[in-house]
Structure formats: structure tokens, C-alpha cells
């Protein structure tokens, strides 16, 4: 009896032990060594149940790190080796899946690291497991079982293969149920129902000690038969399963999968799904992909033959992409990404090298490609009459999506000069299936000159790409094939990136090049530091650094549309009118007079239109989501607001949407709550035309139904720059209640003004041009103040009434019973005559004081004393008055002394009378002094016994207001009195 591969595999699972036999002591020691790595993986990916990673490692390697050398034993039956602690397969020999590469792609960790570093191997497997888990729509432990099936190297097309794969899973789930392992590795009892997970009969077979395996079937010694459970295919995790009608696909009849076909539906995603379920359509594909978000529906198992590419069906997997070959806008970024993910999954499952994918350029018609190209379009297979995916499918971009994740890092060359060769060296040929990079980047170099001395590639199959910079987004100098040498090229960025690609057959001698570099400053330096911010579905802000006065900016999407160019004077430019859900390349060069530098480049991806977004720019282009060349999508519903710095004028140059089913609403304001403009909503061919917003914002809402799209619209907008603002006059006052003689400041709070004119009737001054003038009001009252504030935008006049209260200042004064006293009865009685004061302080000159209103004081020692009164106001400060008191002893009295000396009025505002009652006749002098004793005036007197009266006019003396002293001097005595002069 002939035994096929699937049957042999199932028998090996039960008959051959791994190269490392299981021993509980080894498990214990290994668990100690790697426990921290497993724990770290669970901490980073908590969605993975604890114990699962150890169960996988146990099933493959018994928790040991597999690292082989020349003397390592090989499988007794030639089973492919597994590597690392997670037991990943590098070379499945065309039968097993190369899951080492698959985990490398999903995790971003290289195959070499997964094979040699246990920590990275555990972490990488966990990362891949988590990525697949997030895509799955299954529930419970079924979800985990399907992820484990996807990550397995084992195929599952036949019943024998399915049994082998589920036998592997059975070991893993058996491990999770053992209390010894739960305790040793620190994971809980997950209480998994294996009978429900595998099916009751299948569980009996999987758990049986003796199993009979043959071409006819699989059964246990107890008589239970194993059956391949009818369930939806999970070839691509995260896909939706909708089965095509059974009459629309068939068996591959043992033919291996070795190619992938890219189609477009020439219709809608929903329409294709429905059509493949039509029993009379006689057509199907393995996968359908939706344009707007890349959603994937699987309709035929990869193990079965879908009917999509005629005679090439037996060995191909077909992907139908929503879209139409002759129209842009269907092949979105989300769909490219999703399609690449599906293709990579299939390539990994069947050992198809992503390097053997078509690189482009895109073509309108049919172009049959050789069998070396394993991933290509419907238009590239023999016997076809179809030309999809057509001119708009970006093969170069799709090639990068498929290969960038596994492409080796560039070979770094940092010497200032040297010679470089292809991978074959100076004398050998390069190899097949190469995609290699060389980066010449000497430190400090401002330019690199490279000269090719030999160049020989397979014409139109092997290519060299030269970039002026260090990435594929920088300036592409050229693409070269055959024997046409690039010659001598100077890269002004200071770096040269060489990308080389070869196909699967025919190698040539390749190339040799020498290079030099320079550190001399460039006369026109290349811009640097490129980055993007504010990336919206239809706009993005581009930034760079440079010292030029002007720059040449270029940009294009990932299709083969030509570059669009702009000249800008800043290091920031906001692009508008972009296509949503698209990859954009852009570059910028310095303009230095008549010279222009090389371009520095970068890229960004616009998101799909879903949530509301706002564009803040004073001018730009407003298009539908399809951009300048494409169409908008079905089932769109989004809001876009344009914010500017002035009223917006919008002009629609074209408008075409499905009449009565798709609508553009236009709102005159920042939200959909703002009023709609006349005619909104718009549909069909009648657009908004030209209109201007009332404010600084316009809001658009677009809705489309689930079928029939059109070219959309294109409009330009600009805003009226805001002119100078009209001033607003306003002011406040520093205070409105003041003391007599104090000023009020008028505090200017006007805006958008730079000159001012004040008119203040009743104040001093009555006019002012100062910004914040000080003015004096003599009396209380209501005053109307006019302020004219002027600026570039005009002027504004304000009339404002200010109610001013002027409080009087205190005036200190008092009278006394006498200013000549005699001990022991030297008592001074004071009468307070002050005005506008509330509190008082008296100093009697002998160290005594009082705060009474009308105090008295007794002097005990003869002498001359100055009495001081300070009168305080609650709001307006204080004032002072003085009196000099002469205190005598009774024994000092002489007959000739003057007994009385009176001054009235005191204080005085000019003329005052001096009265002297004297017992003496004869000559005397009346002396006027200031408070520091300086003599101001001396008036000779001739006293007569009795009453003598004299007049003094302070106004005639031209004196300032203040305190003074009058002293009467005779031959035998002198008497001093204070006097206050007020104007």
C-alpha cells in the first residue's frame, strides 16, 4: 500500500520522539532558566492565557532551546528541524509551512534572533500570537485553538493532515490540564472542555492510546472514527467567512499552491460576495477585500480550487479587490495593507517567496509574465482575456509592502572613498531573488560622487535603483537595467542609497563602482529634518529645515500620477485636496538664485475618512475623498470644517455625484448646527457654485449610499485677510474719591488703538493726548469725560460720566487760656478749633502728650515749651498747629514785665492784631522769625503803660504760608508767641 505524505506525517506524530526526550528534571531546570522570559511575555501581552506559551514550547522542544551544529542528530524520517525554544520551522521542504518566517514577519524580530535568542524567541512568538488574536472573531478557547493552528507549521487540507495538526494541539491542551505543570509554571487551571473543543468523537480518537491510521480513515481502538470537522476556514485570521456556493469551486486534486492572483471585482465588495453564492455564476475567489477599510471575507478555503483565473486555477489563490480597473480611488491604503497581509499569510503557508512578486510598472492591457513571478495580476496569466487590476494598481508600492518587513538592513559604507561591488564581488555574478541595499554615507559629507566602471544586469528583469539620500523616499536619481551604465553621478545630500533587485533566474556579472566624497559646504544646501504633522484625510502639514529664501516642493500619491510642484517661501506648507486613505511621497529642494539643490524626501499616509475633521488654512483645494483623479466611495458619511482667519470664498469648478442618493450639505459656520446656504443639500450635477461665508468657517457634510459613485467635486477657497481692527475706546479711573489737591489717573483700556484724545471739562488740565493722563478736580461732582481712541482701523469715541468726591483736608487750630503761666499754678487749658479732623494728638513739649479733643496740662517747671497739635482726617492725612508757652516762677516777676501778649486772629490769612497790656513804658522790639529762628522782620515799638495795639500784614511781607514766631523784646525780658499764616 502506498502511503502519502499526510499519512506518513500522522504516523510520525505518534511513532517518533523528538530529538530531546522528555525528562521532568529537565523541565524543572529549563522552567527556572526561562521563567522570567515567559512572565515578561505575559506582562506585555496579557490577552494570552498564562501557560499557553509554555504549552507550545513543551509540545515542540520540551522547554529546551534547540541550537544545532554539524554533529546534531537528524530526524529518523527526515522531518524538518525546528529551531529555538518555540520550535519554529525554517525550511518546511515544500510541505510544512515555514512558520519561522511567518513569526518573524508578524513580530518584526529577525529569523536569526528567533533561532538563537530564547528571550526574543518567546517574546516574538507572543507578539505574533497577540497580533493574530486581535484579528480573530472567534470566541473562547476556539479562538486560541485557531490561532495555534495558524501559527503551526502543519498543513490541514486532508483528514490525515487535520488529525496530525489537532494531535499537536491536543498535546498543548493536555499540558494546560496537568496539575503538576500548573504548579510548576504558575498558571491556573483553565478548565478547558476538550471534548467540546475537538468534538466528542474526535476527542476520543485524539486521547486514545492506540489509533489506526490509513488512507481510508482514522479510528481509535475503541472504534471511534475521526472526522474533519465541517467548519469555516480560518486560513487568514480575522477574515469573515461566507462560503461560496459549492457549485462554484472544486478540489485542487493534489496540486500544490504556488502562486497568487490579484483581481479587481469591477463592481462592489457586497456584489461580489453575493455573486459568488449564486449557483449559476460558475465563478469564485478565495478572498474578497473591501475598498474603504480593507475588510476581508474568505469564501473558498485555500485548500480548495476557486474558479477565478481559468486554466491557472489549480495552483493559485485568488484575491478579488473592490474596484474598477479604469477608475482611480478604489485601491485605498487600507485595502493595500490588508491585501498585503493576506498575501503574506498565504505565501508563508505555502513557501512562496515575496521577492517573486511583480514589481510593475502598472499596465493597461494584458501582459503575460513568466512562471518566475509568483504574485501577479489577472492580466499577467496565460490564457486570460481580462486586464485587471489594470493601470491604477501600484505594483511598486505593493512590492514594498510585501518585502520591506524582511528586507535586510542596508550595507553601511562610511569611508570617505572606496570601491563597491554587487553581492558576487569583483569577479562573480550576483544571486537570484536578491533585494539588497548599500548606503554610502561618509560622516560629515556634503556630497558623494559615484562612478560605475562596469554594469551588466539581466535586461528588464533585474534592476538597480539609485537615491540621492539615505532612504527610498529621497530623490530617485534613476532606475537602471541591462548594460546601460548609470555613469558618474553626484549626490548633493551627502548620501547615496543603492537598491538592487534580481528575479528568480539568470544572473549576470553585476556592477562595480568607485566613489569619493566631499565635506566642502554646498553653495545650495539640501533641506533636512523633514517631518509631517496634522495629517487629515485630505490634508497634511509638511515641515523641514533650511536656510534658503525659497523652496521647491513636490508631492504625489502612490499611484503613477506625476509630481505636483509648488514654490514656497517658508519651511512649512499645508497641502490640501489630497486623496483619503492614500500614501503620499513628497520632497523639497532649496532654491538659491539660479541654482536648485537635490530633493530631500519623505512620505506619509492619509487616513480613511470617518470622523469629523477640520482644516485650518486661509486658502486651498477642497475635493471629495477620491482626490484629483479618483471617485468617492460608497457608504461615506463625514464632516469637514474649513477654518480661516476671515470670510471664506468657495468656488466649485466641478460637481458630479449620484443624483438624489448622494448629498453634499454646506453650512455657513463651524458646525452642522449652523444655517445651511441657499440650495443645500446639493446632489446630481448642480453644485454650490461660488459663495462667501458670513464668518470665518464653512462646514461640509457628505453622504453617499451603498452603490453608484461618481467623480465628486473640486473647489478652491480663499479667505479675505482681516484688515485692521476698529478700535474700541474704554477707560477706568484710579479712584473717584480723592482728597482736596490730589489727582485722578484715567486708566486707558482701549484696544486696537495707538493715539488718544481726552476732553475733561471741569478738570485741570481740561484736555490731554497722553495714554493715561493725571487730572485734578477741585470740587465734588459728576464730570462727563470724552475719549477718542484712534488706530489703523479708524477711531472710536466714548463719553463716560465719572462721579468724583473731593474730601476736604484737615485744618489744625486751637486757642489757649494764656501763653504765660506761673508755677505753681501753671495750668494750660486748650480749646480745639480744628476742622475736618476726627482724631488728635497733643504734645505739650515737656514729654507729656494727650489724644483728647480739648485737653489741659499743668507745667511744674519754669521754661519755654512748644505745644504741638496734630489733627488727623480718616481719609486725607493730617495738619499741625503750634503754641509757645512761657512758664515762670512767681519769684521772677518784675513790675516792668509785660503781663499780657495776645495775637488775633491766629491763624491768619494776612493782617493780624497784636495787643500788649504793659506795666512798662519805654522802647521795645517786635521780632518775626521762621521756625528755624531766622529773623524775617524787626518792628521797633514805643510801649505805653496799659493797652498797646499794633498791626502786621503778612501779605505785604510776601511770606509763604506756614508757621512763624513773634517775639517781644524789652530791656529786661522777652516773650515769644507762635503764629500761623494761611493764604
Mean pLDDT score, 579-583: 83
Task: Please tell me the predicted confidence (pLDDT) of residue 942.
Answer: 84
Cα–Cα distance for residue pair 640/638, rounded to 1 Å: 7
Q: Which CATH superfamily is domain 523-608 in?
A: Immunoglobulins (2.60.40.10)
- What CA–CA distance (Å, rounded) separates 831 from 201? 126
H or E stretch covering 39 = helix 24-44
pLDDT tens-digit series, residues 931-978? 777 888 888 888 887 788 888 888 888 888 888 888 888 776 778 888
pLDDT at 231: 57
Q: How far apart are CA 381 and CA 312, in angstroms?
A: 8
Question: Parallel, antiparallel, or unpaired for β 249-251 and 540-545?
Answer: unpaired
DSSP 334: H
* DSSP strand pairing (856-859 vs 826-832): antiparallel
Distance between CA atoms of residues 375 and 811, nearest Å: 109
pLDDT the model gives residue 688: 96
Q: State how far the Cα of 236 lies from the Cα of 285, in Å rounded to an integer.
A: 14
CA atoms within 13 A on the CB side of 801: 3
Which three cell numbers mark 489? 553621478
pLDDT score, position 886? 84
Q: pTM of the prediction?
A: 0.54
- CA–CA distances in Å: residue 468 to residues 219, 284, 632, 873, 914: 66, 46, 36, 86, 111
- What is the arithmetic mean of pLDDT over 685-708? 93
Is 411-518 in CATH node 2.60.120.290? yes
Residue linked to cell 474568505: 298
Q: Which residue has the cell 520591506?
A: 404
Which DSSP letter does residue 33 get?
H
- Tell me the pLDDT band of 631, cut-offs 50, 70 and 90: confident
pLDDT tens, position by position, 537-550:
999 999 999 999 99
Query: Is the dihedral angle over the CA atoms 371, 376, 378, 379 positive or is it negative?
Result: negative
Helices (H), 491-543: none
Contacts of 33 (CB under 8 A, 6+ apart): none
Of the segments 146-150, 361-365, 715-719, 951-955, which one has the largest average pLDDT value?
A: 715-719
The predicted pLDDT at position 314 comes to 96
- pLDDT of 611 reads 82
Q: Which residue has the higher pLDDT, 922 or 166?
A: 166
Nearest to 511 by CA among 437, 581, 571, 427: 427
Percent of the chain whose predicted confidence (pLDDT) is above 90: 57
Burial of 346 (0-12, 13-18, 19+ CB in 10 A): buried
pLDDT by residue (tens digit) across 859-882?
999 889 999 999 999 989 999 999
Check residue 970 and give its pLDDT: 77
Q: Cβ atoms within 10 A of the Cβ of 878, count?
A: 15
What CATH number labels 731-807? 2.60.40.10
End-to-end Cα distance, the chain: 142
Q: What is the mean pLDDT of the chain?
A: 88
Check if the beta carbon of residue 258 is closer than 8 Å to that of residue 349. no
Architecture of 610-719 per CATH? Sandwich (2.60)
Whether the domain at 523-608 and the domain at 731-807 fall into the same CATH topology:
yes
Distance of CA 758 to the CA centre of its chain: 50
Determine how many CB atoms are found less than 10 A away from the CB of residue 852.
Answer: 11
Cα torsion 90, 96, 98, 102: sign? negative
Whether residue 798 contacts residue 787, with contact meaning beta carbons closer than 8 Å, is answered with yes
List the domain boundaries for the chain: 5-220, 240-403, 411-518, 523-608, 610-719, 731-807, 894-983
Q: What is the 3-state secondary structure (H, E, C) of 457-476?
A: CCCCCCEEEEEECCCCCCEE
Largest interatomic CA distance in the chain: 172
Confidence of residue 899 (pLDDT cuts 50, 70, 90): low
Query: Across the beta sheet with 781-791, what order do the strands follow?
Result: 737-739, 794-807, 781-791, 755-759, 767-768
Select from 812, 931, 951 the least CA-distant residue to 873. 812
Which tens digit of pLDDT belongs to each residue from 313-367?
A: 999 999 999 988 887 778 888 899 999 999 999 998 898 999 999 998 888 899 9
Residue 975's nearest CA partner among 906, 910, 915 is: 915
Q: What CATH number is given for 240-403 in this structure? A: 3.40.80.10
Q: Give the relative orientation of helices 140-151 and 118-135 as an angle to the nearest 10 degrees.
A: 130
- In CATH, the number for domain 894-983 is 2.60.40.10
* Of 156, 194, 161, 171, residue with least CA distance to 62: 171
Assigned C-alpha cell, 119: 528571550
* pLDDT tens-digit map of 389-403: 998 899 989 999 999
For 408, the 3-state DSSP assignment is: coil
Q: What is the pLDDT of residue 17?
A: 35
Amino acid at each position: 500500500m502506498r502511503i502519502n505524505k499526510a499519512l506518513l506525517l500522522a504516523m510520525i506524530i505518534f511513532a517518533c520522539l523528538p530529538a530531546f526526550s522528555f525528562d521532568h528534571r529537565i523541565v524543572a531546570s529549563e522552567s527556572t532558566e526561562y521563567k522570567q522570559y515567559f512572565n515578561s511575555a505575559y506582562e506585555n501581552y496579557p490577552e494570552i492565557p498564562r501557560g499557553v506559551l509554555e504549552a507550545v514550547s513543551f509540545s515542540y522542544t520540551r522547554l529546551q532551546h534547540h541550537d544545532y551544529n554539524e554533529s546534531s542528530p537528524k530526524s529518523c524520517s527526515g522531518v524538518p528541524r525546528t529551531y529555538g525554544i518555540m520550535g519554529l520551522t525554517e525550511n518546511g521542504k515544500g510541505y510544512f509551512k515555514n512558520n519561522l518566517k511567518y513569526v518573524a514577519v508578524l513580530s518584526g524580530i529577525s529569523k536569526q534572533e528567533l533561532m538563537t535568542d530564547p528571550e526574543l524567541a518567546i517574546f516574538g512568538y507572543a507578539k505574533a500570537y497577540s497580533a493574530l488574536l486581535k484579528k480573530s472573531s472567534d470566541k473562547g478557547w476556539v479562538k486560541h485553538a485557531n490561532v495555534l493552528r495558524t501559527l503551526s507549521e502543519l498543513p490541514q487540507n486532508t483528514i490525515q493532515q487535520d488529525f496530525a495538526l489537532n494531535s499537536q494541539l491536543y498535546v498543548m491542551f493536555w499540558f494546560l490540564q496537568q496539575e503538576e505543570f500548573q504548579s510548576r509554571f504558575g498558571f491556573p487551571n483553565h478548565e478547558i472542555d476538550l471534548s467540546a473543543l475537538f468534538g466528542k468523537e474526535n476527542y476520543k480518537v485524539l486521547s486514545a492510546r492506540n489509533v489506526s491510521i490509513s488512507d481510508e480513515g482514522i479510528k481509535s481502538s475503541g472504534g471511534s472514527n475521526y472526522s474533519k470537522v465541517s467548519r469555516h476556514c480560518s486560513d487568514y485570521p480575522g477574515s469573515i467567512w461566507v462560503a461560496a456556493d459549492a457549485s462554484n469551486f472544486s478540489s485542487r486534486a493534489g496540486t500544490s499552491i504556488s502562486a497568487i492572483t490579484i483581481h479587481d471585482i469591477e463592481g462592489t465588495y457586497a456584489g461580489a460576495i453575493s455573486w459568488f453564492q449564486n449557483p449559476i455564476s460558475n465563478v469564485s475567489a478565495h478572498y474578497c477585500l473591501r475598498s474603504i477599510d480593507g475588510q476581508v471575507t474568505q469564501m473558498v478555503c485555500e485548500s480548495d480550487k476557486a474558479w477565478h483565473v481559468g486554466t491557472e486555477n489549480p495552483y493559485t489563490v485568488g484575491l478579488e479587490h473592490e474596484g474598477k480597473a479604469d477608475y482611480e480611488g478604489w485601491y485605498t491604503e487600507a485595502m493595500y495593507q490588508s491585501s498585503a497581509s493576506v498575501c503574506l499569510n498565504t505565501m508563508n503557508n505555502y513557501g512562496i517567496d515575496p521577492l517573486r512578486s511583480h514589481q510593475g510598472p502598472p499596465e493597461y492591457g494584458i501582459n503575460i509574465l513568466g512562471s518566475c513571478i509568483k504574485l501577479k495580476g489577472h492580466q499577467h496569466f496565460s490564457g486570460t482575456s481580462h486586464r485587471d487590476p489594470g493601470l491604477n494598481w501600484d505594483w511598486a508600492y505593493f512590492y514594498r509592502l510585501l518585502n520591506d518587513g524582511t528586507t535586510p538592513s542596508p550595507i553601511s559604507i562610511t569611508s570617505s572613498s572606496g570601491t563597491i561591488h554587487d553581492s558576487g564581488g569583483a569577479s562573480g555574478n550576483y544571486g537570484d531573488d536578491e533585494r539588497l541595499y548599500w548606503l554610502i554615507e561618509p560622516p560629515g559629507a556634503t556630497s558623494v560622487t559615484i562612478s560605475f566602471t562596469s554594469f551588466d544586469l539581466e535586461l528588464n528583469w533585474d534592476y538597480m535603483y539609485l537615491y540621492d539620500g539615505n532612504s527610498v523616499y529621497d530623490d530617485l536619481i534613476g532606475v537602471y537595467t541591462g548594460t546601460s551604465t548609470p555613469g558618474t553621478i553626484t549626490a548633493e545630500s551627502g548620501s547615496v542609497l543603492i537598491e538592487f533587485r534580481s528575479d528568480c533566474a539568470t544572473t549576470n556579472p553585476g556592477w562595480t563602482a568607485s566613489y569619493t566624497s566631499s565635506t566642502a559646504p554646498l553653495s545650495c544646501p539640501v533641506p533636512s529634518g523633514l517631518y509631517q504633522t496634522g495629517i487629515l484625510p485630505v490634508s497634511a502639514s509638511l515641515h523641514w529645515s533650511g536656510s534658503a529664501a525659497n523652496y521647491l516642493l513636490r508631492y504625489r500619491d502612490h499611484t503613477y500620477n506625476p509630481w505636483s510642484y509648488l514654490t514656497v517661501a517658508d519651511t512649512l506648507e499645508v497641502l490640501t485636496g489630497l486623496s483619503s486613505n492614500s500614501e503620499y511621497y513628497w520632497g523639497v529642494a532649496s532654491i538659491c538664485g539660479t541654482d536648485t539643490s537635490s530633493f530631500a524626501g519623505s512620505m506619509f499616509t492619509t487616513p480613511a475618512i470617518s470622523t469629523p475633521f477640520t482644516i485650518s488654512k486661509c486658502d486651498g483645494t477642497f475635493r471629495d475623498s477620491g482626490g484629483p483623479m479618483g471617485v468617492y466611495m460608497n457608504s461615506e458619511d463625514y464632516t469637514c470644517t474649513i477654518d480661516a482667519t476671515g470670510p471664506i470664498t468657495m468656488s466649485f469648478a466641478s460637481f458630479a455625484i449620484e443624483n438624489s442618493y448622494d448629498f453634499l450639505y454646506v453650512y455657513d459656520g463651524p458646525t452642522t448646527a449652523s444655517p445651511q446656504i441657499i440650495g443645500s443639500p446639493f446632489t446630481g450635477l448642480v453644485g454650490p457654485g461660488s459663495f462667501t461665508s458670513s464668518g470665518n468657517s464653512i462646514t461640509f457634510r457628505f453622504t453617499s449610499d451603498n452603490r453608484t459613485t461618481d467623480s465628486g467635486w473640486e473647489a478652491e477657497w480663499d479667505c479675505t485677510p482681516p484688515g485692521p481692527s476698529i478700535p474700541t475706546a474704554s477707560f477706568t479711573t484710579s479712584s473717584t474719591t480723592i482728597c482736596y489737591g490730589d489727582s485722578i489717573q484715567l486708566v486707558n483700556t482701549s484696544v486696537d488703538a495707538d493715539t488718544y484724545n481726552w476732553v475733561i471739562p471741569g478738570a485741570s488740565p481740561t484736555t490731554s493726548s497722553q495714554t493715561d493722563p493725571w487730572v485734578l478736580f477741585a470740587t465734588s461732582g459728576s464730570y462727563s469725560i470724552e475719549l477718542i481712541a484712534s488706530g489703523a482701523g479708524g477711531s472710536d469715541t466714548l463719553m463716560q460720566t465719572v462721579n468724583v468726591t473731593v474730601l476736604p483736608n484737615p485744618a489744625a487750630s486751637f486757642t489757649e487760656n494764656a501763653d504765660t503761666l506761673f508755677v505753681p499754678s501753671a495750668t494750660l487749658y486748650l480749646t480745639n478749633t480744628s476742622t475736618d479732623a476726627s482724631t488728635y494728638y497733643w504734645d505739650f513739649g515737656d514729654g507729656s502728650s494727650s489724644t483728647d479733643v480739648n485737653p489741659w496740662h499743668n507745667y511744674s517747671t519754669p521754661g519755654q515749651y512748644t505745644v504741638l497739635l496734630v489733627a488727623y482726617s480718616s481719609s486725607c492725612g493730617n495738619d499741625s498747629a503750634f503754641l509757645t508757652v512761657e512758664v515762670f516762677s512767681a519769684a521772677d516777676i518784675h513790675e516792668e514785665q509785660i503781663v499780657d501778649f495776645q495775637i488775633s486772629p491766629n491763624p491768619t490769612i494776612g493782617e493780624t492784631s497784636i495787643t500788649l497790656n504793659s506795666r512798662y513804658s519805654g522802647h521795645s522790639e517786635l521780632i518775626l522769625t521762621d521756625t528755624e529762628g531766622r529773623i524775617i522782620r524787626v518792628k521797633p515799638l514805643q510801649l505805653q503803660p496799659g493797652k498797646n495795639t499794633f498791626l502786621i500784614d503778612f501779605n505785604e511781607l510776601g511770606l509763604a504760608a506756614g508757621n512763624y514766631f513773634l517775639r517781644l523784646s524789652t530791656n529786661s525780658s522777652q516773650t515769644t508767641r507762635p503764629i500761623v499764616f494761611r493764604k
